[in-house]
Every structure is written in C-alpha cells, then in structure tokens.
Amino acid sequence: MYPLKLTAPLKDYIWGGTKLKTDYNKQTDLQKVAESWELSCHKDGNSIIANGEYAGKTLVEYIEQNGKAVLGTNCDRFENFPILIKLIDAKDNLSVQVHPENEYALRVEGEYGKTEMWYIVDCEEGASLLYGFKHDISKEEFKQRIENNTLLEVCNKVEVKKGDVFFIDAGTLHAIGSGILIAEIQQNSNTTYRIYDYGRVGVDGKPRELHVDKAIDVTNLCPPTKPTTPQGKTEKYDGYTKTLLSTCEYFTVYALDIELKADFNVDNTSFQSVLCLEGTLVLSSENGTITLQKGDSVFLPANYGNYTLQGKANVVLTMV
C-alpha cells in the first residue's frame, strides 16, 4: 500500500470559471472548468491514479484488484463506493435544483440519492447562494411559482463568507451563486433535478432541460434547519488545528490548518481522502512520501497506518 495521488476528471459546465486551472493547477485544454472530481468512482467520471505501480489505472480498478477491504469496514453497508468529492468554481449562478433521497432515486433513476456538504473555500465579496425556502410553502404554491417564474421570491438567499459550511440534505432546494468556490463532499450520485435556470440555453442553443415534476415529488418545502457553521469547535494541537465541518451517515469531514506538521492514522474502519486547498505539504509514512500542492488529492486505503502531513497548508480530510 502507498498513498495514491489522484488525477481528477474535469467538467466544463456553462456556469464554470477558470480558477481551477489558474489557481488549483488543473491541467486541461478546456476553456472553463466548472468542477474537478477529486475523489470519484462514479461512471460519469473516474479518478485516475497518477503515481506508483497503479499509475494510469482508475480508482475503481484499484479497488477491484485489491478488494473492498481497502475501503474499510464502515463501507461494508454500502453497495458501491459511498462518496464523491468535488471542487466547484461557480463563475455564474448554478441552476436552482434539488436532489432526491435514496428510495426515490433508486426507484426512478437507478442510483442512490444525494445528500451533500458545501465548504466555502473562497468567494467574492457579497456572494450569495440559495438554501431552502424563507418559509413553509405548499406543493401547489411551489408548482405555481415555477410556472409563473416567481420561485426566487420565496427562496432563502444567504450571503456567504470563506469557511461557511452548508449541509444539504436530500430534498433541500439549493443553488450555488456566482463568485463562489466550494469543496463539496456528497453521496456518490450524479442525479440532479433542475427547477429554474434563469432562461439560459445550453451549448446546443436550446433551453436546458428542467425536471419540474420530479422536483415537485422530492423537494422539502420548508426553511433549512441546520446552521451554516462548522459542526464542531476548532481543536488546537501542536503544529496544527482541526475543525469538524460535518458528520453524517455517509461521511465525516474535517478542515485542517497545518502550521508545521500533523500526525494521523488510517485504521481498518475507513479510507481517508486528503485534499489540499492551500499551500504545500509533504505526506510521509513508512510506505512512501508524496508532495501535495494546492488542488492535489490523495487516497489512503483503510488500514494504511500512520502518516504525517508536514508543511504549511489548508486541507480537507474526509472519511466514511
């Protein structure tokens, strides 16, 4: 076993910008990069291993070759690889959308639903997003407001700042606003129901597809109940601080602010994902050493053992 450095599949959706290329070292001929899928075993985009004996293989192939034990015992309850981690650069507003929960998504789409978490990595001054509704509304009002283009009047608009955390339960209406860069940790699903899209057209010149009937089926027509702050307090250690951003049945996510070094252990319960958001690090262990720069992502298999992150950097650490 060794630390697997991953190359992310990239998505050039129409609302994307160029920061993932210019600031996060994503090498591509695409004019814009809306999303980089930093940890992915999804059919719509697989992480590729960039180093060592498995270089050039997908993460899916690595897991198939080495067995499900590399995911950890916490993943035994999941049929497929459980999570997907993205960096998202919203130069323009994303569509107003919603994701279904597991039962509906499996029945209608053939894949699991999507609960997700957003960590605001950077944003322009005054940037905002949509998060649920201002107040409870009925299904009839929801449908009428979609039809007469007044939906935004009842959406809960939230101004954001760097470090904010949004937990998006399946069924929560949401939309990332322009000028925001996000780290997203989510269930391993790509099912999205678009409700409103500002009248935009796709690359084919036609209005982008909406999924109104399905959205009406699955949307929770109420205000959000969770705060937009980290779930835990910042804990200070010798050489770094650690903050619990969010934990749920699908993932646990920490923000690490490393000033000098931090020691960690990967036991048999879960793999760990290390995503560098700022600075430079050296990840070292008995099994290998790897340098991480801004935008780099590493997969550490379950039962990997002890490792050290040394340098000055901001990191998102994720496990199941």
Give the whole-angstrom CA distance, residue 119 versus residue 12: 21
Across-strand partners of 307? Answer: 264
**What's the one-letter identity of residue 77?**
R
Q: Are strands 155-159 and 128-133 parallel, antiparallel or unpaired?
A: antiparallel
Is 194 one of the catalytic residues?
yes
Give the pair of three-digit tokens for residue 168: 């998006």
Q: Are 270 and 72 in contact (CB under 8 A)?
A: yes
Burial class (CB in 10 A: 0-12, 13-18, 19+), 120: buried
Closest of 81, 78, 95, 69 to residue 207, by C-alpha: 95
At a CB cut-off of 8 Å and minimum separation 6, what does 87 contact?
8, 20, 24, 35, 36, 38, 121, 181, 182, 183, 184, 275, 295
Cα 38 to Cα 57: distance, rounded to the nearest angstrom = 15
What does the alpha-carbon distance between residue 319 and residue 304 come to, in Å, rounded to a whole number?
Answer: 13
> Which listed residue (145, 194, 200, 208) is catalytic?
194
Q: Which residues are catalytic?
A: 194
